[in-house]
């Protein structure tokens, strides 16, 4: 065994002291292999290692074994290999043990160059690294010919950052990371580390405070309440090429869309080993959910946020792991499998995306490097008073990049068909839910969050540029103009917007006792004053069946029969109304109780005819809706809609027509929202001849009283400013759809 001389063993003493103290910004400058020349010009390589608690270290390079000298008592060792080139070497470390020495042989992470280049850092600083997730976080890779995992994290305010995990006994002394230039990105490559390893970052703030942090770019996590990040790599092989081909050929503004909103944790449960109940895994859901949705005829499913979150009661809207599907239901590949199976069943997949705020958990994003990094430092800008969360600093390039890349990540890595952006109004307004004196104006003295507006536009532009066939949906509850209009026309650039006004007015109306509805008649007609200003989705969402609001069925007035009739009328009214329908799970089975995220839907209710009838109605609504282009082909244009009679408040009857853009037939929708049948009720129709009943919410198959119209013949005289008319029977608390039959016209 060779013993080195003293030449070149010591690095700068200040560097070594900072390394030992765990506060060196570039440990690679001290550790690893350093070629140099001796006093006679001969090449040699000085190798330094850092192993606290070690008795000694040995360099092993092929047949060479060089014992290293302890050059600092804390555990810095150094040795010399003769020759100008850096060989493939390992470090053999000897630890004292109770029954003898323990020997650990490992590759040296400090002999490897950076895994991020200058272009990556430049794009991050500009906020334009759209594939940032391929570089930050834990990347399983082969680097300089060696398999392992690179770790990289943005923490510009940190004095030092160390990676800890299963691979180093969670000892923060062992693997300090280097900062790359002035980027604020800390990086290290650990050879031999692979998928399955748990890890975190030990961050030392500028004030010397140490905190253990989950990786902001973690692609997998432990099951909550555990909070470690997990190294992972996808092995899923997608089988949805046919779906993507069909999606690319579809114009979403002229195609049928009906959405089933779903909370994966409480949709359906299975028995656990102890006889209790647990949510389905992603793979278990993949065996049931696609066929269920296909049977009911929904075109899309929208999941409440699936990104990792510590508190189940937040329903996923307080995210700590923006790049990780929640581990509650399985691995990231398990979630990919679910999406894949939905696509194979012809179901598009949307996911709620939370870019407006994040929680204050001290192991996640909040004051990540000891400074207000992702959030604003000023609480008047940086905190949400309603939710007790923090607001992203959209004016910071790297924060915008984190979120922009995240949106692309979900679409590209998980083949999603769209994102519904949560709480857009809270992003748009600086005074959102704040009293006077609790907010700061923009540079023009206004209340608009100019940085957030620019960010929203950028995200929509980039996603639609690269993925023009996806759906980007805004949950925006104010009258902000042109939310679903392109940015080049002055809009925010979304494809669709939730119609919160329609939802509120409609539920207020249907919650009234029918005897009073004549006085609230125009709460149902008001939405048509603005129905075509946006590309609207009509949401009866989770928010309407939680927080003490009761179930949809529970909102309906009257006795048990009237409650069911009202609910069926509400659903048939929604499916015929301009805008794409969205229904939260449980609505299709007339859930009795308010939604509870901790328990399953009450599937046993389908044993009762009235509940099964509502489900049958939803199935029929989707089938007829998809078969009739009049109900969706001109959904966002006055050309697809005409009132027959919006003013019959005395009878609480409303009627309108829907028209296709193609050669299809028009559809008439008539709603009688009292429990009194209307006999010999005359309506105007645009075309003569036979009009067939294609849907009746009062049909016996749906649990109704079976007051049917069948078919009617339109002829003179004209009525309601239309050239023809017919008399018919309107069912009690029922909605009737008629379609012109061109074969008998």
**Domain ranges for the chain:** 13-111, 118-230, 260-357+394-628, 637-744
Question: Same CATH topology for 118-230 and 260-357+394-628?
Answer: no
Residues 80-101, mean pLDDT to the nearest whole number: 86
Q: Which of 369, 422, 588, 698 is catalytic?
A: 422
Q: Is 126 among the catalytic positions?
A: no
Tell whether the model's pLDDT for residue 339 goes beyond 50: yes
Those residues with Cβ within 8 angstroms of residue 632's Cβ, 6 or more apart along the chain or in another chain: 254, 255, 256, 257, 580, 625
pTM of the model: 0.95
Residues 145-152, mean pLDDT to the nearest whole number: 98
- Residue-level pLDDT at 356: 95
Could you tell me which of 526, 589, 591, 528 has the C-alpha nearest to residue 554? Answer: 591
Element (H, E) at 456: helix 450-466
Could you tell me which of 470, 396, 384, 464 has the C-alpha nearest to residue 427? Answer: 384
Confidence at 85, pLDDT banded by 50, 70, 90: confident
Q: Is 422 among the catalytic positions?
A: yes
Kindly indicate whether the domain formed by 260-357+394-628 is annotated with CATH number 1.10.150.120: no
Tell whether the model's pLDDT for residue 342 goes beyond 50: yes
Question: Which of 94-98, 556-560, 711-715, 726-730 is predicted with the least confidence, judged by mean pLDDT?
Answer: 94-98
- Residue-level pLDDT at 7: 45
**Alpha carbon distance 718, 271 (integer Å):** 62
Residue with tokens 């997998």: 220
Question: Which of 87-101, 288-302, 355-369, 560-574 is predicted with the least confidence, judged by mean pLDDT?
Answer: 87-101
CATH of domain 637-744: 2.60.40.1180
Tens digits of per-residue pLDDT, 234-247?
Answer: 999 999 999 999 99
Tell whether the model's pLDDT for residue 6 goes beyond 70: no
Q: Which of 187, 261, 475, 588 is catalytic?
A: 475
- Residue-level pLDDT at 12: 80
Residues 377-397, mean pLDDT to the nearest whole number: 93
Q: What pairing do the DSSP bridges indicate for beta strands 259-262 and 580-584?
A: parallel
**Alpha carbon distance 514, 393 (integer Å):** 49
Residues 484-498, mean pLDDT to the nearest whole number: 97
Query: Could you give the percent of the chain with pLDDT greater than 70?
Result: 98
Tens digits of per-residue pLDDT, 536-569?
Answer: 999 999 999 999 999 999 999 999 999 999 999 9
- Residue-level pLDDT at 1: 41
Contact between residue 364 and residue 356 where contact means Cβ atoms under 8 Å apart: no
Tens digits of per-residue pLDDT, 270-299?
Answer: 988 888 899 999 999 999 999 999 999 999
Tell whether the model's pLDDT for residue 4 goes beyond 50: no
Contact between residue 353 and residue 392 where contact means Cβ atoms under 8 Å apart: no
Q: What pairing do the DSSP bridges indicate for beta strands 357-358 and 229-230?
A: unpaired
CATH of domain 118-230: 2.60.40.10
* Region for residue 590 given its phi and psi (left: phi exceeds 0; alpha: psi -120 to 50; beta: otherwise): left
Those residues with Cβ within 8 angstroms of residue 543's Cβ, 6 or more apart along the chain or in another chain: none
Tens digits of per-residue pLDDT, 172-193?
Answer: 999 999 999 999 999 999 999 9
Tell whether the model's pLDDT for residue 452 goes beyond 80: yes
Residues 431-453, mean pLDDT to the nearest whole number: 94
Tell whether the model's pLDDT for residue 303 goes beyond 50: yes
Could you tell me which of 176, 189, 135 has the C-alpha nearest to residue 50? Answer: 176
pLDDT higher for 625 or 6?
A: 625
SS3 content of the chain, % helix, strand, coil (to 5): 30, 30, 45
**Alpha carbon distance 674, 671 (integer Å):** 9
Residues 628-649, mean pLDDT to the nearest whole number: 97
Residues 685-711, mean pLDDT to the nearest whole number: 96
> What is the average pLDDT value for the chain, to the nearest integer?
95
- Residue-level pLDDT at 100: 67
CATH of domain 13-111: 2.60.40.10
- Residue-level pLDDT at 246: 97
């Amino acid at each position: 065994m060779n013993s080195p001389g003293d030449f070149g063993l010591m690095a700068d003493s200040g560097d070594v002291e900072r390394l030992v103290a765990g506060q060196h910004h570039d440990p690679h400058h001290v550790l690893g292999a350093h070629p140099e020349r001796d006093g006679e010009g001969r090449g040699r390589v000085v190798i330094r290692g850092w192993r606290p608690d070690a008795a000694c270290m040995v360099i092993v390079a092929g047949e060479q074994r060089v014992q290293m000298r302890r050059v600092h008592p804390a555990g810095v060792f150094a040795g010399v290999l003769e020759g100008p080139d850096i060989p493939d070497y390992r470090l053999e470390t000897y630890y004292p043990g109770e029954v003898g020495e323990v020997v650990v042989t490992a590759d040296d992470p400090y002999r490897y160059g950076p895994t991020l280049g200058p272009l990556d850092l430049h794009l991050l600083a500009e906020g334009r690294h759209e594939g940032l997730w391929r570089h930050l976080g834990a990347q399983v890779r082969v680097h300089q010919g060696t398999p392992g995992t690179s770790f990289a994290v943005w923490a510009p305010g940190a004095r030092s950052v160390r990676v800890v995990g299963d691979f180093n006994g969670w000892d923060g002394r062992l693997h300090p990371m280097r900062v790359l230039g002035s980027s604020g990105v800390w990086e290290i490559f650990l050879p031999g580390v692979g998928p399955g390893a748990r890890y975190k970052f030990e961050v030392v703030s500028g004030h010397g405070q140490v905190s253990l942090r989950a990786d902001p770019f973690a692609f997998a996590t432990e099951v909550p309440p555990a909070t470690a990040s997990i190294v992972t790599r996808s092995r899923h092989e997608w089988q949805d090429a046919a779906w993507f081909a069909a999606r690319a050929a579809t114009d979403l503004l002229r195609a049928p869309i009906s959405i089933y909103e779903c909370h994966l944790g409480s949709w359906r449960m299975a028995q656990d080993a102890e006889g209790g109940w647990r949510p389905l895994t992603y793979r278990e859901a993949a065996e049931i959910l696609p066929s269920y949705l296909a049977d009911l005829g929904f075109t899309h499913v929208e999941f409440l946020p699936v990104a990792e979150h510590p508190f189940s009661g937040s329903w996923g809207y307080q995210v700590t792991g923006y790049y990780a599907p929640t581990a509650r239901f399985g691995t990231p590949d398990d979630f990919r499998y679910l999406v894949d199976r939905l696509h194979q069943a012809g179901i598009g997949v949307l996911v709620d995306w939370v870019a407006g705020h994040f929680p204050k958990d001290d192991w996640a994003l909040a004051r990540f490097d000891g400074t207000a990094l992702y959030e604003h430092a000023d609480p008047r800008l940086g905190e949400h008073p309603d939710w007790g969360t923090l607001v992203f600093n959209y004016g910071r390039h790297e924060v915008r990049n984190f979120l922009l890349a995240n949106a692309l990540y979900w679409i590209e890595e998980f083949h999603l068909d769209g994102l519904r952006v949560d709480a857009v109004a809270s992003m748009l307004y600086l005074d959102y839910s704040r009293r006077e004196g609790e907010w700061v104006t923009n540079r023009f003295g206004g209340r608009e969050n100019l940085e957030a507006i620019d960010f929203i536009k950028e995200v929509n532009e980039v996603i639609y540029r690269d993925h023009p066939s996806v759906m980007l949906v805004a949950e925006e509850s104010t009258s902000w103009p042109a939310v679903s209009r392109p940015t080049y026309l002055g809009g925010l650039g979304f494809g669709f917007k939730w119609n919160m006004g329609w939802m509120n007015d409609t539920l207020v109306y249907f919650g009234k006792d029918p005897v009073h509805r004549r006085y609230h008649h125009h709460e149902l007609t008001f939405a048509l004053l603005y129905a075509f200003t946006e590309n609207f989705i009509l949401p009866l969402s989770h928010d309407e069946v939680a927080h003490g609001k009761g179930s949809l069925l529970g909102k309906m007035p009257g006795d048990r029969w009237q409650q069911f009739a009202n609910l069926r009328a509400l659903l048939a009214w929604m499916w015929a109304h301009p805008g794409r329908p969205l229904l939260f799970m449980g609505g299709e089975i007339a859930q009795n109780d308010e939604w509870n995220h901790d328990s399953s839907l009450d599937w046993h209710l389908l044993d009762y005819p009235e509940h099964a009838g509502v489900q049958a109605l939803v199935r029929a609504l989707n089938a007829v809706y998809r078969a009739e282009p009049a109900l969706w082909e001109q959904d966002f244009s006055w050309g697809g809609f005409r009132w027959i009679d919006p003013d019959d408040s005395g009878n609480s009857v409303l009627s309108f027509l829907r028209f296709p853009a193609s050669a299809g037939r028009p559809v008439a929708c008539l709603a009688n929202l009292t429990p009194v049948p209307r006999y010999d009720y005359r309506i105007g129709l645009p075309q003569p001849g036979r009009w067939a009943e294609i849907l009746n919410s009062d049909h016996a198959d749906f649990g109704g009283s079976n007051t049917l119209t069948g078919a009617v013949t339109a002829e003179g005289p004209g009525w309601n400013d239309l050239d023809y008319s017919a008399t018919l029977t309107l069912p009690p608390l029922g909605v009737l759809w008629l379609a012109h039959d061109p074969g008998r016209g």
